[in-house]
Structure 1
């Protein structure tokens, strides 16, 4: 799914008439509807109509979903849009999908690991980096100070981690 970007996820049913709770991962959360039809990781394509804003997302109607049971069955389904339908990003912004899998090197060229995930718990993005030959991961702040260089073409980024982070 390299040509697909995850733009949202279904968090379960909302109400009893087939609406779903929708989490949007787009910069403008309402823009998710503009990228429809969306492909679910369950192999189904959905048109969607946002009904209203609710706590932690939106309630939405999806094509083919008419009952609470059908909506409940979709809990956890991730929704993808083709990359070519999404806006181009400025030079200093990246889709999370493009960062996952990149090799991480320090400013001296020593490999620190590989990006396993991009997390955001409200303040800013964190790169979950798995260390080479280890099972532990390190959370690296994804800021210009900590990650001055991202080179998607070569599949790597350069990090200048805070002192003590990798000890």
Structure 2
């Protein structure tokens, strides 16, 4: 089953096994709807005991992991959910996992490459597109530069300004 990345553990919190998570979602309170998550490199379900918020971080504790020594090893790892746990998104909003890997063409039909990753950069995301030759292009995720995202066709159409590619 496909898993969706929803956050990254950035540090521990306190001595009772709390973790600080940088949420990779527009709605951090989304974690309250989850019964469990997966931690990168593990197939085990980690059941959520409690959730608090501190600035732009989510503080999570898990059942059975109420000791800092038990969670220390998870720093810098990502949290995932099953695809069945994902929310329906508003129109013209996409999950990162749905975008990464899509093929990218210009409005003139020139093939640029595939979306390699998405950078969280302030007010909008930036799509990193890698060509077959290994060249990388950075395209801001705004309608002006990305007029078409077609998940069914597996492609994105970009309309870059001069100097962008």
47 and 33 in structure 1: CA distance in 2 versus 1, 3 angstrom threshold: farther
Mapping 1:3-152, distance limit 5 Å: 3-43=2-42, 44-134=44-134, 136-152=135-151
* 1:101–1:116 CA contact under 8 A, matched in 2: yes
TM-score if structure 1 supplies the norm length? Answer: 0.90
9 and 36 in structure 1: CA distance in 2 versus 1, 3 angstrom threshold: farther
Instruction: Give, in whole Å, the separation in 1 of the partners of 2:18 and 2:4.
Output: 23
* 2:32–2:51 CA contact under 8 A, matched in 1: no
Instruction: Give, in whole Å, the separation in 2 of the partners of 1:120 and 1:22.
Output: 15
Aligned CA-pair RMSD? 1.6
**Aligned to 2:59, what secondary structure does the other structure show?**
strand
Question: Unaligned 5+ residue runs, structure 2?
Answer: none
Question: Unaligned 5+ residue runs, structure 1?
Answer: none
Which ranges of 4 or more aligned residues in structure 1 deviate by more than 6 Å? none
Instruction: Give, in whole Å, the separation in 2 of the partners of 1:70 and 1:115.
Output: 36
Give 1:101 shift: 0.5
Aligned length: 164
**Aligned to 2:98, what secondary structure does the other structure show?**
helix
TM-score if structure 2 supplies the norm length? Answer: 0.91
